[in-house]
Chains A and B, each alone.
Chain A
Amino acid sequence: MSYLTLTGIQKRFPNGFVAVSDFDLAMEKGEFVSFLGPSGCGKTTTLRMIAGFEQPTRGNVVLDGTDITDRPPNRRNVGMVFQAYALFPNMTVADNIGFGLKVRKRDKASIARRTLELLELIGLPGTGNRYPWQMSGGQQQRVALARALAFEPQVLLLDEPLSALDAKIRVSLRAEIRAIQRALGITTVYVTHDQEEALSLSDRIVVMSQGRIEQIGSPFEIYNFPQTPFVARFVGTLNVLNARVADATAGRLDIGGQEMRATGAVGAAAGSMVTLALRPEILALGDGEPGHVRLRGTVDEVTFLGAVVRIRVRLPGDAGIASVDTFNNPHLAVPARESSVTFSFPAEACLVLDGAGRDAVVAAATAI
């Protein structure tokens, strides 16, 4: 039986706006799940419904076999870390961490012991007497994490906890969050719009768009096997090419006068336009291996990105532009601008979207 279950959750605000609908999720104990999506997709609203700050219009939230849908937030035993830290400015770091325990009327000795333990855990020993305003943003967020963990909540909720921090601290702190979560084995829900964060931290990712779940899966599945055009476009960088269906049954496609064959039938009528999605790292300059799809085009731009060199290749007609990523090395032969190049990719790495590129994947090869 799952530890945290959200069934048929819907949230309609009084002005009629539906922020979340048909949300179903079952989480195991100790699992780390991220809600990933663009701003306004309903991820924070869903998190707030787990915390009890928002009441679902429909559906229920069950934690460890108990329906907590109607429980007020202070009686849910759910810890939360906020984007803006939300430390109490009038209290010291130790008082902040001990607040949840004090509310639960634990004795002073055990509060002090637990506070010291957590200060060690977050790597800030000896800072108990400081005030929040005497600490940096990263340190404050660590304290906020310790405070949320102090009373041993059943679930830890993190609402974009790293978005107010600079890039370097964000990377180091996310590794610390994951290490602490693993060490404590606490069930965690993490809200973010940063795909890199979600991919690097999570056991599973829930990709959301317009209040609905687009896909639930492991980072590997989400990145490599997107089930909807939205997931394919939102997660990772994607080349989008236009193609005309030459033979739907045989899966033959025409891309700017060049032919390729999908791995299966294309669910669109012959003559209609479809969109092809390809990850840049799948494409390689040159003819590739036997059986690979080969396309010719003109080099539009070469961008040096450090470890990676990105070559933008313009295809004939209105087929679009493909970015080919190749690892940098001192002996790399970089093609000149406006020169003609061939790039290749395995047919099964190509995702065929419908003409509008929005509603559904009409024919998918096995992987991108």
Chain B
Amino acid sequence: MTGEVDRLHEELEELTGHREPTQRRMKGRRTAASWAVLLLGLAYFFLPLVGTLLFSLRERPFLAAYAEMVRDPQIWSSLAYSFAIGVITIVLSIALLVPTAFWVRLRLPRLRPVVEFVTLLPFVVPPIVLVFGLISSYSRPPLPLTGTNTGSDALLVCAYVILSFPYMYRAIDAGLRTIDIRTLTEASQSLGAGWITLIWRVILPNLRVSILSGAFLTLAIVVGEFTIANFLARPMFATYLQLISGNLAYEPAAVALVSFGITWAAMGLIALVGRGSQAKIEITGAH
């Protein structure tokens, strides 16, 4: 909006010839500085990736590292496992955090700071502390979960649900802020809907973009998480990457780039879904 106003001002100045030469020079300098900062940022971000790509292409014949990666069944099993764990984590996080954030906003607004603090704890408690806490608590009766693969998987998912708190809760809470949940809740209740129908048919669909944002961030974190997976000895993608890094030179670089690609694809999907919703908001705003 501000950009549009600036452009209109510029056009007006051009038409009326009121633009001062000094003003023009100042603006030119500002634009050059902006480009310099942008290029610096892009270089900082892309140079390591370009380096990794060039390194992964050194192996002969051409693209051998990628061919090797595709042939390795372990990469696909670890990716599949990671995505499965990621999806379960996302489903559990949504099931836990959507009703919580909804209820806090609707009925317990005074508890918001407390809940926000709790959801930020994963930033304060490092994963190594979390995983040691989980192992020491659940490796002996009454809940010896680490004794079985299923038990360890459950622990892994629970740990990832905790890790996802800051991203998922904030995304959902931001989404709830944009809708009048109190009125929508009352409207659906007056029409005969119970709490489950309300959340499933009214609240969740209106939080679609927010939940997707949180979900993809969670997926990216779960797929790339190493510490907890390693200490619980689960075959996650990050542990596989660490494993092959010890034995091979070029393949880990290829795998790292592929994992980057997957994360970017996920982000692209958010942007794609979010764009549709933005259009709606703009049209509503124009009314």
Instruction: Decide: B179 and A73 in contact? CB cutoff 8 A.
Output: no
Which of the segments A82-90, A185-193, A255-263 contacts the partner chain? A82-90
Complex Cα gap A134–B208 (Å):
20
Residues of B within 8 A of A134 (CB): 283
- A51-86 to B contact mask, C-beta < 8 Å, 1/0: 111000000000000000000111111111010101
Given known pairs A74-B194, A90-B205, the reply for A82 and B188 (CB within 8 Å) is no
Complex Cα gap A140–B287 (Å):
12
Instruction: Decide: B190 and A88 in contact? CB cutoff 8 A.
Output: no
Residue of A nearest to B285 (CB): A133
Instruction: Decide: A80 and B190 in contact? CB cutoff 8 A.
Output: yes
- Which residues in chain A, 109-164, are within 8 Å of chain B measured between CB atoms? 131, 133-134, 136-137, 147-148, 151, 157
Instruction: Decide: B206 and A74 in contact? CB cutoff 8 A.
Output: no
The residue in B179, B190, B197, B201 that gathers the most chain A C-beta atoms within 10 A of its C-beta is B190
- The reply on A103 being an interface residue by CB < 8 A is yes
Given known pairs A88-B202, A103-B197, A133-B287, the reply for A82 and B183 (CB within 8 Å) is yes
Instruction: Decide: A84 and B191 in contact? CB cutoff 8 A.
Output: no
Mostly helix, strand, loop or mixed at chain B's interface? helix
Residues of A within 8 A of B201 (CB): 99
- The reply on A100 being an interface residue by CB < 8 A is yes
- The reply on A104 being an interface residue by CB < 8 A is yes
Instruction: Decide: A51 and B190 in contact? CB cutoff 8 A.
Output: yes
Instruction: Decide: A78 and B202 in contact? CB cutoff 8 A.
Output: no
Residue of B nearest to A76 (CB): B190
Out of B189, B192, B206, name the residue touching A151 (CB < 8 Å): B192
Given known pairs A74-B194, A136-B287, A151-B192, the reply for A88 and B280 (CB within 8 Å) is no
- B193-224 to A contact mask, C-beta < 8 Å, 1/0: 11001000110011010000000000000000
Residues of A within 8 A of B187 (CB): 80, 82, 86-88
Complex Cα gap A136–B287 (Å):
7
- The reply on B180 being an interface residue by CB < 8 A is yes
- The reply on B184 being an interface residue by CB < 8 A is yes
> How many residues of chain B have a CB within 8 Å of chain A?
23
- The reply on B186 being an interface residue by CB < 8 A is yes
- Which residues in chain A, 150-181, are within 8 Å of chain B measured between CB atoms? 151, 157
Out of A74, A84, A90, name the residue touching B192 (CB < 8 Å): A74
Instruction: Decide: A80 and B186 in contact? CB cutoff 8 A.
Output: yes
Instruction: Decide: A100 and B192 in contact? CB cutoff 8 A.
Output: yes
Residues of B within 8 A of A90 (CB): 202, 205-206, 208
Complex Cα gap A79–B179 (Å):
22
Out of A79, A87, A104, A136, name the residue touching B190 (CB < 8 Å): A79
Residues of B within 8 A of A52 (CB): 189
Residues of A within 8 A of B287 (CB): 133, 136-137
**Chain B proximity of A220: nearest CB distance (Å):** 32
- The reply on B284 being an interface residue by CB < 8 A is yes
Complex Cα gap A77–B192 (Å):
7
Given known pairs A73-B189, A78-B190, the reply for A84 and B180 (CB within 8 Å) is yes
Residues of A within 8 A of B208 (CB): 90
Complex Cα gap A53–B284 (Å):
28
Instruction: Decide: B193 and A86 in contact? CB cutoff 8 A.
Output: no
**Chain A proximity of B195: nearest CB distance (Å):** 9
Instruction: Decide: A89 and B190 in contact? CB cutoff 8 A.
Output: no
Residues of B within 8 A of A137 (CB): 287
Out of B188, B206, B280, B284, name the residue touching A99 (CB < 8 Å): B188
- B254-287 to A contact mask, C-beta < 8 Å, 1/0: 0000000000000000000000000010011001
Out of A53, A89, A151, A157, name the residue touching B191 (CB < 8 Å): A151
Instruction: Decide: B191 and A86 in contact? CB cutoff 8 A.
Output: no
B: residues with CB less than 8 A from A are 179-180, 183-184, 186-194, 197, 201-202, 205-206, 208, 280, 283-284, 287
For this complex, 29 residue pairs linking A to B, each with C-beta atoms less than 8 Å apart, are A52-B189, A53-B186, A76-B190, A77-B192, A78-B190, A79-B190, A80-B187, A82-B183, A82-B186, A82-B187, A84-B180, A86-B184, A87-B187, A88-B188, A88-B202, A88-B206, A89-B280, A90-B205, A100-B192, A103-B191, A103-B197, A131-B280, A133-B280, A133-B284, A133-B287, A134-B283, A136-B287, A148-B190, A157-B190
Closest 9 CB pairs of A and B: A100-B191, A86-B187, A133-B284, A90-B205, A80-B190, A73-B189, A86-B183, A103-B192, A74-B189
Known: A76-B190, A79-B190, A103-B192. 15 other contacts (CB 8 A): A53-B189, A74-B191, A74-B193, A79-B191, A82-B187, A84-B183, A86-B183, A86-B186, A86-B187, A90-B202, A100-B192, A103-B197, A131-B280, A133-B284, A151-B192
